């Protein structure tokens, strides 16, 4: 008897990681918005919080939602809005698309002023802020508590402030 089952994670097998799928979804949302149409993309996961974040939160009694990082069209629009671009603090579309894949190489900080976690890309001076325990309404009107992300350019000296604790 032949067993032709496919297993995930094998290169060349068509397997797409959560990070790659998230990058593709972000790109599609941006393309929808750039074409002048409205994106109907439902909220989506870009992956799980790093183990260092989960351990830090547990150690410091910080409540975090389900352990996933969620993005929405609203948050992508907020991240790329023209006001941020005018101020010179907007993350490029390309960098936002690359974030799910690049984030595991970034420094991670905890902001004690609002219990958010920050992925900091030192090479690009960009921060991607994970806001924990955000209440989100899904398409069926049900509320769900998630960890969502937003992004902007930053000055690396910001992370010398007392409110930031480096985790990774």
Task: Give pLDDT tens digits for 24-54.
Answer: 999 999 999 898 888 888 889 899 999 999 9
**Average pLDDT, stretch 132-154?**
78
Give the span between the Cα atoms of 17 and 8, in whole angstroms: 9
Q: Return the SS3 of 119.
A: strand
Domain ranges of the chain: 18-166
- Residue 130 contacts residue 106 (beta carbons within 8 Å): no
CA distances from 42 to 39, 55, 137 (A): 9, 29, 11
Over 50: is that where the pLDDT of 121 sits?
yes
> Which residue has better confidence, 151 or 95?
95
Residue 95, pLDDT score: 94
Over 70: is that where the pLDDT of 161 sits?
yes
Q: At 159, is the pLDDT very low, low, confident or very high (cuts 50, 70, 90)?
A: confident
């Amino acid at each position: 008897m032949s067993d032709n089952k496919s297993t995930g994670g094998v290169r060349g097998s068509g397997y797409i990681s959560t990070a790659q799928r998230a990058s593709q979804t972000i790109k599609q949302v941006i393309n929808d918005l750039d074409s002048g149409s409205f994106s109907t993309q439902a909220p989506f996961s870009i992956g799980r919080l790093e183990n260092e974040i989960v351990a830090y939160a547990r150690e410091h009694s910080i409540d975090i939602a389900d352990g996933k990082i969620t993005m929405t069209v609203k948050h992508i629009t907020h991240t790329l809005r023209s006001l941020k671009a005018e101020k010179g603090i907007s993350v490029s579309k390309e960098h936002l698309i690359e974030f799910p894949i690049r984030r595991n190489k970034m420094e991670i900080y905890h902001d004690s002023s609002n219990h958010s976690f920050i992925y900091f890309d030192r090479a690009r001076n960009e921060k991607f802020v994970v806001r924990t325990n955000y209440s989100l309404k899904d398409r069926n009107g049900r509320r769900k508590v998630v960890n969502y992300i937003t992004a902007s350019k930053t000055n690396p000296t910001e992370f010398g402030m007392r409110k930031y604790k480096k985790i990774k």
